[in-house]
Amino acid sequence: MFDETDPIPRIVIGKSSTNYLKPVTSDFTSELIIPEKERLQQFREMFARFGKARITLKAQIKHKEELQAEFEGDYIAIKN
């Protein structure tokens, strides 16, 4: 998402929430729900223009394909 020659940006979680649907008592998988291409492009453009950008990322925690928890976080990337 970022140019490999640029310094690694600082990443801050502005806000996050987790909705636990069922107890997670054994091995699980976490799957990021990738934002739409247009949203990713908007994030890149804001970062290039202003040196910071915000994006909401969502993830699902599953055990044997059964949804156990949902996570949503607002991440802010800040140019170093």
56-77: burial string, b at 16+ Cβ within 10 Å, e else: eeeebbebeeeebbebeeebbb
Tell how far CA 58 is from the center of its chain: 6
For residue range 38-60, what is the model confidence (pLDDT) as tens digits? 999 999 999 999 999 999 999 99
Q: Taking the complete model, does pTM exceed 0.85, yes or no?
A: no
For residue range 9-41, what is the model confidence (pLDDT) as tens digits? 999 999 999 999 999 889 999 999 999 999 999
CATH superfamily of 10-78: Hotdog Thioesterase (3.10.129.10)
